[in-house]
C-alpha cells in the first residue's frame, strides 16, 4: 500500500514539474510578434472580389461554374454526375423529396432516365 501511494506522489510531482517547464518555454519569444502587412494592399483598395470576374465597365460577371453552382439541385453538371454516380443520385433524390419536388413537376427538368429512377425512389421511400 505504501509503495503504490509513494509511486503516485512521485508521478504527480514529475508531471507538475514538466508542465511548468513547458509553459515557461512557450512564453519566451512570443512577446515581440508583429503583424505582417501585405505589400500588395494599397490604402483604400482592400476590397476583395470573390467568385467574380470584373470587366472593363466595372460590372462583375459570374463564371459558368458559379452559375452552375447556383442552379443547385437541377444544374446540368449535377444531373450529369447523377447519371454516373449512384450514391450522389440517391442523395439528390432524398434532397428533392425533402424539398417537396414531385416527380410529375420535375419531369421536364431532368433526363428521362433520372425521372424514371426518381419516380421509383419517390414511391419506395
Average pLDDT over residues 86-113: 91
Domain ranges of the chain: 2-26+45-124
Q: Is the pTM of this model over 0.75?
A: no
Residue 62, pLDDT > 80, answer no
Residue 103 has pLDDT above 90, yes or no: yes
Banded model confidence at residue 68, pLDDT cuts 50, 70, 90: very low
pLDDT in tens, 36-55: 555 555 555 555 656 655 55
At 54, give phi and psi (nearest 5°). Answer: -95, 135
Amino acid at each position: 500500500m505504501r509503495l503504490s501511494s509513494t509511486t503516485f506522489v512521485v508521478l504527480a510531482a514529475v508531471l507538475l514539474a514538466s508542465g511548468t517547464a513547458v509553459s515557461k518555454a512557450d512564453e519566451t519569444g512570443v512577446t515581440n510578434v508583429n503583424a505582417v502587412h501585405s505589400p500588395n494592399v494599397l490604402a483604400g483598395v482592400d476590397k476583395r472580389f470573390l467568385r467574380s470576374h470584373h470587366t472593363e465597365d466595372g460590372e462583375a460577371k459570374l463564371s459558368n461554374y458559379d452559375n452552375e453552382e447556383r442552379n443547385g439541385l437541377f444544374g446540368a453538371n449535377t444531373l450529369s454526375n447523377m447519371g454516373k454516380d449512384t450514391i450522389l443520385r440517391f442523395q439528390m433524390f432524398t434532397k428533392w423529396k425533402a424539398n417537396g419536388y414531385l416527380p410529375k413537376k420535375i419531369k421536364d427538368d431532368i433526363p428521362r432516365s433520372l425521372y424514371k429512377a426518381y419516380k421509383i425512389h419517390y414511391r419506395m421511400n
